[in-house]
Homo-oligomer: A and B are copies of this chain.
Amino acid sequence: MAAVKIRPAQPEDCEDIMRMIKELAEYEKLPEQVKNTAEGLRRDGFEQSSPFFKCLVAEFGDEGRRGGGPAVVGYALSYFTYSTWKGRALYLEDLYVMPEHRGKGIGSRLLAAVAELSASLGCSHLQLAVLDWNSPAIAFYLSRGARDLSQEEGWRIFRFLPDDLKRVASGPDTSDG
C-alpha cells in the first residue's frame, strides 16, 4: 500500500484516465455512452480558467510495479455542484481502481482524499450515483457512512438528451407548468 501515491492529476495523465473511464463504462455495461477523449479531458480539466472538474490519480512508484502494467491504476473525478438548500457541494462522478489492484486500500485512500478536498473547499456534502445492481460499490459507500438518498427520500434522476432539448427550447406549449 505504501508504494501507491495519491496525487492531483496532470495533463499528461489524461490518456491513462481515459483508458480507465472506458474500463469503468465497460464494467457498468454502458460502454456505448463514452464519447469523450483524452483531448477533451485535457481541454475541460486543464486548459480552462475554471476547470470543469478536479481529478486525483493513484500511482505506483517504480518499486511497486511488477509485470509492466500501467503505473496509474485508479482515479477519482469530482466537481462542484450547488445545493439551493445548503450551498456549494462536491459531486464524485467516478471513483475507480483497476480490478487487479483492488483489495489494497487504494479506493479507500482515493475516497479519503476526495473527502479532504470536499472539506478544504467548504462543501456541505459529497454526493454520487451508483447503479442499483453494483452491490460492491453500494457496500463500499454504505460502509463508509454514505446515506442512500434515493431510498431515504425517493430521489429519481431524469435526463434530457440534445434532441429533446432542441424541441423544448424551440417552442414551449401552453399546457400546465
Chain A residues near B (Cβ < 8 Å): 1, 21, 24-25, 30, 33-36, 40-41, 44, 49-50, 52-53, 77, 79-88, 91, 93-94, 97, 102-103, 105-109, 111-113, 115-116, 118-119, 124-133, 136, 138, 140-151, 153-177
Contact = CB atoms under 8 A, between A and B. Distances in A.
Given A35-B85, A130-B156, A157-B129, A108 B175 contact: yes
Nearest to A91: B81
B154 A167 contact: no
Contacts of A170: 112
B158 A36 contact: no
Contact of A52 (B49, B82, B172, B173): B82
Contact of A146 (B91, B97, B158): B158
Nearest to A84: B21
A47 B44 CA distance: 23
Contacts of A44: 82, 87-88
A74 B112 CA distance: 39
B157 A115 contact: no
A93 B114 CA distance: 22
A33 B153 CA distance: 12
A81 B82 contact: no
A144 B162 contact: no
Contacts of A138: 156, 158
Closest 3 CB pairs of A and B: A107-B177, A108-B172, A145-B164
Given A84-B94, A119-B169, 6 more contacts: A108-B174, A111-B177, A126-B165, A127-B158, A145-B168, A149-B158
